[in-house]
Amino acid sequence: MMKTMNDIKELLLIGEKVNMECKEAKSSMPKSAYETYSSFANTDGGCIILGVEEDKTTHIPEKRFIIHGVQGAQKIIADFWNTINGDKVNVNVLIDSDVYILEEDNIQLVVIEVPRADYKLRPVYIGENPIKGTFKRNNEGDYHCSEDEVRAMMRDQNPDGNDGL
């Protein structure tokens, strides 16, 4: 758990990577955040930070990520919980303490720490079709899983092993 805005600033100097994703999210949850939720849950977990703009035209770490914050952080979190517990994703792997607000100088960020889903819960996908809605994380991007990758996750759910399948 990141405890302060300085924790976020230190991570931003490293930049987005396999376990961190920034989203601008001025006043609402970006739809792409659910793809990132799926990819983190299906890979090794990670942190989604809402309220940070990425300027991809620069490679200078201090200038690449701009902390603007979000407006209505409590509403964004409420909307997120309503969506994640609805039918947007097949399973919620989060607990209350995984989603929180960091605030400094009247700037609020929403932080969502997504754990890696237990093998019995994978694949974690958005929508109703696991083949089309399952994502994985590579480097700093979310990518659709192939049908073979999704079927492997489903096969790995078998608690008795897969030797006889």
Q: What is the pLDDT of residue 31?
A: 92
Q: What is the pTM of this model?
A: 0.92
**CA-to-CA distance for 19 and 99, rounded, in angstroms?**
16
- DSSP secondary-structure letter at 119? T
**CA-to-CA distance for 19 and 36, rounded, in angstroms?**
10
Cβ neighbours of 146 (radius 10 Å) = 12
- Which segments of the chain does DSSP mark as H helices, in order? 5-14, 32-42, 61-64, 73-84, 130-133, 147-156
Give 29-38 pLDDT, tens digit per residue.
999 999 999 9
Q: What is the pLDDT of residue 161?
A: 63
Q: Do residues 67 and 24 make contact, with C-beta atoms less than 8 angstroms apart?
A: no
Give 117-149 pLDDT, tens digit per residue.
999 999 999 999 999 999 999 888 899 999 999
Q: What is the pLDDT of residue 60?
A: 85
Q: What is the pLDDT of residue 4?
A: 87
Residue type at 13?
A: L
Q: What is the pLDDT of residue 103?
A: 94
From residue 147, give the alpha-carbon distance in Å to each of 3, 110, 129.
Answer: 39, 33, 11
Q: What is the pLDDT of residue 59?
A: 83
Residues in the chain predicted with pLDDT less than 50, given as ranges, are 164-165
Q: Which two tokens stand for residue 162?
A: 């897969």
Q: What is the pLDDT of residue 122?
A: 96
Tokens 């607000």 belong to 101
Q: What is the pLDDT of residue 101?
A: 96
